[in-house]
Structure 1
Amino acid sequence: MNEGLRGKLTLVSAQAGFGKTTLVAEWAAGCGRPVAWLSLDEGDNDPVRFLHYLVAALRTVATNIGEGVFSMLRSPQMPPTESIVSALINDISAVRSSFVLVLDDYHSIDAGPVDHAITLLIERMPPQVHLIITARQDPALPLARLRVRDQLSEIRSDDLRFTADEAAQFLNESMSLQLSDTEVSLLETRTEGWIAGLQLAALSLRNHANAAAYLHSFAGNHPYVLDYLIEEVLQQQPDHVQTFLLRTSVLERLSGPLCDTIIGREETCGQRTLEQLERMNLFLIPLDSERQWYRYHHLFAEALRQRLKRDSSSGEEAEVHLRASEWYEENGFELDAFRHAAAAEDVARAARLLEGNGVPLLFRGSVGPVLKWLATLPAATLNATPSLWVTYASALLFAAGPTDVEPKLQAAEAILQSRDPDEEIRDLIGHISTIRATIAVSRHQADEIVAQSLRALDYLRPNNLPIRTATTWSLGYAYQLRGERAAAGEAYTEAIAISRAIGHYIIHIMALIGLGNVQEDDNQLSLAEETYRGVLRLAGEPPIPVACEALLGLARISYERNDHDAAEEQARHALRLARLIENTDRFVACQLFQARMMLARGDLSGAQATIVEAGHTARLHRFVLQLPSIAAVQAETLLRQGKEDEARAAVGSYELPLSQARVSLALGDASAALAALEPFIDQAEAKGWANERLKATILRSLAFQASGDKKSALRQLGEALAMAEPGGFVRSFVDEGMPMAKLLLEAADRGQSPDYVAKLLTAFEAENGGKPGVLWETIRPFVEPLSERELEVLRLIAQGLSNEEISKRLYLALSSVKGHNQNIFGKLQVRRRTEAVARARELGLLQ
């Protein structure tokens, strides 16, 4: 065991009863390092429960481990294992002292996600951690790879088997028997050095006067050693101890108060009995140094449970489980209370416990056990308690999305229609509508969300706050989809207040994100920033994947304020988290933002490649809501490349008035741009769409400028500046290029918003190299302006004509056309035709 510390993993692998746990516990007590110990059972195959317990065990070594992981595990859909393990490893890496992590009874695990988590943990484990696993068989972990790398130490059955000398020492000294060498050898041979068999035999021998006769019988006539020895041990105990052992065998973990409840006899003290059983070496293993919690050796517990089933009356086992359930509920262990109620086949109690104390168990990471139990219930049982159909549907929605949910809801409705609509029935009807509203949210069906949510709120009990809060959030999302931002903000604010009060973690985060979106759309950038940062504080470190929306919002705000470094970092983090969320379009939204940033840097090829990838993803997964946004960014990219006709085709099938106006301006048609903008501005004013109104007003100022109406252009610019200055908007002006810079210079000459205009012009300076006077040098007339012929050639280049085609159109020699090209490139300080066209547009030479 000591030598194993130089590697990553020590595996203690042997069948039951060979002393694996005892060995590790004795070694851990004297190893000189802190030890985090997790004893596993079948319930830990639920990845959420396993990771909860794993973090809790690690926190006994360092209390700061796992805060972010706890946050991630509260999400209804568990994030990918990689992100959870990465967060855990980051926390472990911060622990300075070396320590040991023990996973006891790993054979209880047969869940691939848990094996995957431990594999990742082993591969990335910091050097200050050593992992010890005990199991009855080799776990599904990369043991061969660890052997090759000399990172694995193994202890197996042959290492743990008692020799004849060790058996004699145990039997005669530890167990106080007086056996001859022959008798010891007979027993050691029969048990093959199996310590559990030796221990059971020793317990049996204590009450046999003729040890030789007993050993002869034992050795020769009982092939099923365990059954025989268990029976012998039980029969030797007083009646009250037998009762204690049998009844408490249903418990995975034992404590004195819990055992008192299970036994239900005043003359029996659970804590004293546990201590007595431990002194008797009766297969009781302490789970903490204070001797407050214990468990039975698994073989012993399994045998006791079989005996309980065989000998107890039909209701005794159920009664034991019910008492355990009651104790767990009274002491705040709601999941354990539910599991024992389910084992007692008390459907009504289990159904009630599922509702949780204020927040249903489903909302607290217990989807796996709930679904497993519901799947075992026959339809007749579910029909008798229609709330279980609703819970079944809700659990499926949490675990796998909308698939197979509707049949469960319809089954519940079929039962409810035949019952009087009392308060409980109405509440179930409301819950069904809430589930349907949630399904509609995943499909972005605003009208369906509103209809189902309003119906749910009408039917749900006023005190059913968890479900009402989730419904209110859904309603806010629907209002946001429909552009009813004031109503959306009110719904989100209500959901935030209630979810915070009742501890509904995920709705609290989602409502904050929604409110931040509304504030951002209202041009309240500082408020939105504060809200998004509140999301990140709740989401832990690293944050749960859904926090990608808050990071993306912060990136948009940073970009608008012209803080490119912050925007790029926030966008990268958002994209990493968005990759971890299945079946949502957040990844595409992050890609589109990155494409816009590439455009700002002049990386047209990178932007184009990113847009193509985003479009492919959106079409593959049918993210139809993202298609108009993709078309808008695609059009901007094409316009920067001088491809006006392609840009017009990109936006042609969508209602994108801003994009249509930009295309019209690029084509020199200011009237068409104004025609696209006027009704949109009216709509934005009527509906209170502040952000859309700002962007449209900026474009309208440029359209008036292009039409030669300088007075109207400056008036519109003044309106835009008044709307934008409180929020500190920068990029909304700078991204419109040199035509906007020229208009801002005009505004500066007339003293419009001098401080703000100076700030915007400084940003334009930075775009052109950051040297004082560069902007004015760029915009003022050229020292050697383009000739009429050069302007004529430039316009034909912008139309996409080749040198040969220009030669024929203008009746010029091909060499003359090439000469004009070189003159144009030199004066515009560019190298390629596309750059010349883009530069000319910025300078207003092609409008």
Structure 2
Amino acid sequence: MAIAILATKLMIPSPRTSVVNRSQLLALLQRGLDRRITLVAAPAGFGKTTLLSTWLHQTSHAKAWLTLDQRDNDPLRWLSYLVAALQTIEPTLGQSVQQALQAAQPAPSEQLLVSLINEIHRIKQPMLLVLDDYHVIENQAVDDMLNFLLEHMPNSMHLVLATREDPQIPLARLRARGQLNELRVADLRFNLAESSEFLNTVMGLHLPDQAIAKLETRTEGWVAGLQLAALSLQGQHDPNSFIETFSGQHQFILDYLLSEVLHQQTPAIQAFLLQTSILERMTGPLCDAVLNQTNSQSILAQIDQAHLFIVALDQQRAWYRYHQLFSDLLRQRLAQQLTQQELVALHQRASHWYQQHDLVLEAFQHATLAHDYQRAEELMIQMPLHANGFVSAMLNWLASLPNTVLDQQPSLWVRYAAILLVMGQTSGVEAKLQAAERGLEQQPNNEYTRDLSGQIAAARTTIALTQYQIETIIGQAQRAFAYLHPHNLPFRATANWALAYAYQVRGERHNTKLALSQAIELSQQANDTFTLILASIGMGQLQESNLELYRAAATYRHVLQLAGEQPQQIIYEAQLGLARISYQWNDLAAAEQHAQQSLQLALQYEQGIDRFILCELMLAQIKLAHNDLAGAKRLLDQTEQLARQHNFNQRFAEIAHLRIQLLLRETKLSNAKQLATSHQLAFCQAQSALAQAQPAAAIAILTPLQQQAQANNWPDQLVQACCLLALAYVAQGQNAQAIEWLKQALPLAEANQLIRTLLDYGPAMQQLLQLAQTHSLHSSLIDQALPLFNHSSSIKPQAKQVERLSEREIEVLQQIAAGYTDREIGERLYLSIYTVKVHARNIYAKLEVTNRTQAVARARSLGILPQT
């Protein structure tokens, strides 16, 4: 679906006719054009936008401007606006990307960026792109897209970021390469001469040098503070007395100054300022609708001319916004002066105007501010659960509501629970569902309330799934189907998806496929991308089990396309599926890349969710394939320790399976056998028996497993059983029977390129395959695998080489070196303590140390951290 472009976000703000001459800063900006990026970073009120708009109107370069807001945290929206901004330079630029973005399933953002960068490259004229207010971007996916653009954009393009905080880009690397031009608070702060020019020339005051020096010192050159002081000084009979008393806490100063400014305006202007402060952006028609009047555009122009902290957003001066601090304080005073009923009316009129102009999020936000619960709920239903900007708005509102309100509208409790589940949070969800049920007891039994009961049951299937409660999933799914309205497609899709998982665990693969097919069909009809992703992942996992690896890989890639670049935790399973398939195809580099990406996504789940365990087991498996037994053991030990610490009981068998493979490689055969027996891992028991030269015992274990796999049509287990039976019979000297068992396994293995299935059985399988060739059993898979045995066994452990730290791990390590605690690191990097500890554990493993002090010392010796 095409994203509506708000043209005012693309307008270069008009420079004021009277501004301070900042020629040195303009020269710094101009000289920085030979670098890749200019960063203008400072808190609010330091004149970043004014400086850049002045510069852009003076430079001869082609230029584009984009003012960002919270909604641009959606990667596809950000990219759409980026293209639109560049098209103000060249209208045909990025048309193919625009068309791709409007597709039902847009291509991956990196692919779209490659296309856009190639088009930019064909434009030879130098160009500037300014991204204003970049601090509103909190989505890592958008940061990654910016980094990709920055890394690959042609030399003819220069990027400018204006922000209140450092963006998530590699600033240190850019500095080291001489590619970064920086203007910060120290640069933007007014010096004494600039303060004098501003106060006396721009603001029309006639202050002595001593008074200006005092104001400059007490405001520390903060432009907005000086402007507030200047506005308050206008009309003061005793400016020296005012300046002498100009001190105190920042917020108290602002409160005083703004009240003085407001008191100097006419009652009509004061009323306009206060009542329009509820709006983030203003234009005449919107203000007219909110205030029930017809002359708002002329009043906006009057306020603009009076320098009352208003910023023009386009050259036509049709759209404006207030300075953020000014807006905040106006709203405080508005709440004091209007009755609740009057304030509600303003927000309701704003909500209706936004809805009429298809701006649903803004309409919803004003409905919530009006405490119009019914209207807010109606608008909330129109907003997709999986879109970041919408989710945060809905969650913030629901969290702000008192329980008494939620109890009166049980549907809000249900919506609250559903959104939390979409966000990967299970804590507190059951309590919300129970509250919804208590509220429903007071409601009449009708079609609407029955559907809500069905929604509650569907939500409980998801909770049960995270806790591996198979029977609960089945029971709640059946209840959901019984109560949900036939047209409630999203919740029916969710219940089918969870039911499919239960069937999969029970080995009922046919029923699994039916439930997943139903979930996919329903979610497609409902345009529910979130559940479609979940169900598609389930289908990919089923295809893996059925040894349809090529189809499974295509399914997982389709999932990544559906998700785009949004950092949804759920797609970790698609990345992990691609890691498993790449591993089977012996593409260990791709397997590791997918496993690392999967791990980063899995770590975004709240503490108590065990998703990351499987990712780390995959990484340990890859180390084992590289013959790095020490590295595999370290990672496996740490993963098992964390699983036991958090009682992830459902993962113990999977951990034990890999532990047994490691023990067999270490020839600790009795330990392997004991572990396989304690966890009742039949295939591992057979492997242990073979390793202990007990082929008859292995055959006794494997025969019923092979028969069960054959009867149930479980091809993955059938290949495993046949391979092990072949190894068992050849160990008994019954070569003919061994070849027969191998013949049963080879067609499925060859069709799916199960190279690692053969390689992981080691030298015994190598000898069996060589024997098979002498018995005229020829297979392209055998030909492909045999040379790899010697190559695989010749790979030496890389214990002396340090595994590369990720960028996030380096950030955590830097914080550790600075002496911050885990909690402080989490607050500074916006991570949970749990995630910080996981990163720290990974750092210790890669650096081969056991504590913080050793990690810092080791990192400094390797040049990862600078020497002190």
TM-score (norm 2): 0.70
Question: Structure 1 residues 652 and 373, CA, compared in 2 at 3 Å: closer, same or farther?
Answer: same
AA matched with 1:527: R
AA matched with 1:264: N
Q: Which consecutive residues of structure 1, in runs of 5 or more, have no partner in the other structure? A: 72-78, 107-114, 134-142, 144-151, 173-180, 203-213, 775-847
Q: Does 1:263 align with 2:296?
A: no
Task: Name the SS for the 1:161 alignment partner.
Answer: helix
Residue of structure 1 equivalent to 2:512: 488
Q: Which consecutive residues of structure 2, in runs of 5 or more, have no partner in the other structure? A: 1-24, 87-93, 102-107, 113-136, 220-224, 246-255, 795-868
Residue of structure 2 equivalent to 1:227: 259
List aligned pairs for 1:173-212, cutoff 5 A: 194-196=226-228, 198=230
Residue of structure 2 equivalent to 1:554: 578
Give CA-to-partner distance per residue, 1:211-255, whole Å, 9 cap, x none.
xxx7649999999564344233223x5xxx666544323211112
The answer on whether the counterparts of 1:611 and 1:634 sit within 8 Å (CA) in structure 2 is yes
Residue of structure 2 equivalent to 1:793: none
Give CA-to-partner distance per residue, 1:51-94, whole Å, 9 cap, x none.
999877766656789975999xxxxxxx9976764453233333
Give CA-to-partner distance per residue, 1:428-463, whole Å, 9 cap, x none.
222222322222222222222222233223323333
Residue of structure 2 equivalent to 1:205: none
Q: Does 1:593 align with 2:615?
A: no
Residue of structure 2 equivalent to 1:98: 158
Give 1:346 deviation, angstroms: 1.3
Question: Structure 1 residues 411 and 543, CA, compared in 2 at 3 Å: closer, same or farther?
Answer: closer
The answer on whether the counterparts of 1:35 and 1:100 sit within 8 Å (CA) in structure 2 is no
Residue of structure 1 equivalent to 2:407: 383
Q: Distance in 1 between matches of 2:691 and 2:329?
A: 83
Residue number among 697, 708, 720 corresponding to 2:745 in the alignment: 720
Task: Name the SS for the 2:321 alignment partner.
Answer: strand
Give 1:691 deviation, angstroms: 0.2
Residue of structure 1 equivalent to 2:275: 247
Q: Distance in 1 between matches of 2:74 and 2:591?
A: 37
Task: State which drifts further: 396-405 or 155-164.
Answer: 155-164
| Higher Rg of the two aligned structures | 1
Question: Structure 1 residues 397 and 131, CA, compared in 2 at 3 Å: closer, same or farther?
Answer: farther
AA matched with 1:484: E
Q: Does 1:161 align with 2:195?
A: yes
Task: Name the SS for the 1:483 alignment partner.
Answer: coil
Residue number among 331, 339, 356 corresponding to 1:330 in the alignment: 356
Residue number among 444, 447, 456 corresponding to 2:471 in the alignment: 447
Task: State which drifts further: 694-703 or 740-749.
Answer: 740-749
Give 1:718 deviation, angstroms: 2.0
The answer on whether the counterparts of 2:413 and 2:432 sit within 8 Å (CA) in structure 1 is yes
Residue of structure 2 equivalent to 1:607: 632
Give 1:155 deviation, angstroms: 0.9
Residue of structure 1 equivalent to 2:119: none
Residue of structure 2 equivalent to 1:763: 785
The answer on whether the counterparts of 2:74 and 2:142 sit within 8 Å (CA) in structure 1 is no
Task: Name the SS for the 1:2 alignment partner.
Answer: helix
List aligned pairs for 1:80-99, cutoff 5 A: 85-96=143-154, 97-99=157-159
Residue of structure 2 equivalent to 1:415: 439
Task: Name the SS for the 1:323 alignment partner.
Answer: helix
Q: Does 1:351 align with 2:377?
A: yes
Q: Does 1:617 align with 2:625?
A: no
Give 1:355 deviation, angstroms: 2.1
Q: Distance in 2 between matches of 1:305 and 1:572?
A: 46
Question: Structure 1 residues 271 and 766, CA, compared in 2 at 3 Å: closer, same or farther?
Answer: same
The answer on whether the counterparts of 1:35 and 1:102 sit within 8 Å (CA) in structure 2 is no
Q: Distance in 2 between matches of 1:545 and 1:529?
A: 19
Give CA-to-partner distance per residue, 1:332-373, whole Å, 9 cap, x none.
32222222112112122222222234x34x654444443433
Task: Name the SS for the 2:282 alignment partner.
Answer: coil
Question: Structure 1 residues 422 and 168, CA, compared in 2 at 3 Å: closer, same or farther?
Answer: same
Residue number among 659, 670, 679 corresponding to 2:704 in the alignment: 679
Question: Structure 1 residues 719 and 168, CA, compared in 2 at 3 Å: closer, same or farther?
Answer: closer
Give 1:660 deviation, angstroms: 0.9
Task: Name the SS for the 1:98 alignment partner.
Answer: strand
List aligned pairs for 1:576-725, cutoff 5 A: 578=602, 583=607, 584-725=609-750
Matched length: 700
Residue of structure 2 equivalent to 1:470: 494
Q: Distance in 2 between matches of 1:184 and 1:645?
A: 89
Give 1:274 deviation, angstroms: 3.6
Task: Name the SS for the 1:295 alignment partner.
Answer: strand
Question: Structure 1 residues 536 and 52, CA, compared in 2 at 3 Å: closer, same or farther?
Answer: closer
Q: Distance in 1 between matches of 2:262 and 2:179?
A: 43
Residue number among 340, 349, 352 corresponding to 2:366 in the alignment: 340
The answer on whether the counterparts of 2:503 and 2:511 sit within 8 Å (CA) in structure 1 is yes
AA matched with 1:254: M
Residue of structure 1 equivalent to 2:805: none
Task: Name the SS for the 1:461 alignment partner.
Answer: coil
AA matched with 1:167: N
The answer on whether the counterparts of 1:188 and 1:198 sit within 8 Å (CA) in structure 2 is no
Question: Structure 1 residues 679 and 759, CA, compared in 2 at 3 Å: closer, same or farther?
Answer: closer
Residue number among 558, 566, 588 corresponding to 1:534 in the alignment: 558
AA matched with 2:474: V
CA-atom RMSD in angstroms: 4.4
Question: Structure 1 residues 469 and 289, CA, compared in 2 at 3 Å: closer, same or farther?
Answer: farther
TM-score (norm 1): 0.71
Give 1:711 deviation, angstroms: 3.9
Give 1:750 deviation, angstroms: 4.4
Give 1:388 deviation, angstroms: 2.1
Question: Structure 1 residues 81 and 616, CA, compared in 2 at 3 Å: closer, same or farther?
Answer: farther
Task: Name the SS for the 1:261 alignment partner.
Answer: helix
* Percent of residue pairs bearing the same amino acid type: 33
Q: Distance in 2 between matches of 1:610 and 1:229?
A: 63
Task: Name the SS for the 1:403 alignment partner.
Answer: coil
AA matched with 1:760: I
Residue of structure 2 equivalent to 1:118: 167
AA matched with 2:440: L
The answer on whether the counterparts of 1:98 and 1:128 sit within 8 Å (CA) in structure 2 is no
Question: Structure 1 residues 600 and 421, CA, compared in 2 at 3 Å: closer, same or farther?
Answer: same
Task: Name the SS for the 2:265 alignment partner.
Answer: helix
AA matched with 1:650: L
Task: State which drifts further: 686-695 or 594-603.
Answer: 594-603
Give 1:693 deviation, angstroms: 1.4
Give 1:766 deviation, angstroms: 3.3
Give 1:690 deviation, angstroms: 1.4
Q: Distance in 1 between matches of 2:591 and 2:148?
A: 24
The answer on whether the counterparts of 2:454 and 2:482 sit within 8 Å (CA) in structure 1 is yes
Q: Does 1:320 align with 2:346?
A: yes
Give 1:399 deviation, angstroms: 5.6
Give CA-to-partner distance per residue, 1:255-298, whole Å, 9 cap, x none.
23322322334xx1554554455456554321234544211345
List aligned pairs for 1:264-283, cutoff 5 A: 264-265=292-293, 268=294, 270-271=296-297, 273-275=299-301, 277-279=303-305, 281=307, 283=309
AA matched with 2:581: I
The answer on whether the counterparts of 1:36 and 1:61 sit within 8 Å (CA) in structure 2 is yes
The answer on whether the counterparts of 2:309 and 2:323 sit within 8 Å (CA) in structure 1 is yes
Q: Distance in 1 between matches of 2:387 and 2:726?
A: 51
Give 1:502 deviation, angstroms: 4.6
AA matched with 1:286: A
Give 1:533 deviation, angstroms: 2.2
Give 1:22 deviation, angstroms: 4.2
Question: Structure 1 residues 119 and 541, CA, compared in 2 at 3 Å: closer, same or farther?
Answer: closer
The answer on whether the counterparts of 1:19 and 1:160 sit within 8 Å (CA) in structure 2 is no
The answer on whether the counterparts of 2:74 and 2:387 sit within 8 Å (CA) in structure 1 is no
The answer on whether the counterparts of 1:36 and 1:57 sit within 8 Å (CA) in structure 2 is no
Q: Distance in 2 between matches of 1:509 and 1:749?
A: 48
The answer on whether the counterparts of 2:38 and 2:159 sit within 8 Å (CA) in structure 1 is no
Q: Distance in 2 between matches of 1:245 and 1:158?
A: 32
Q: Distance in 2 between matches of 1:613 and 1:102?
A: 42
Question: Structure 1 residues 189 and 118, CA, compared in 2 at 3 Å: closer, same or farther?
Answer: closer
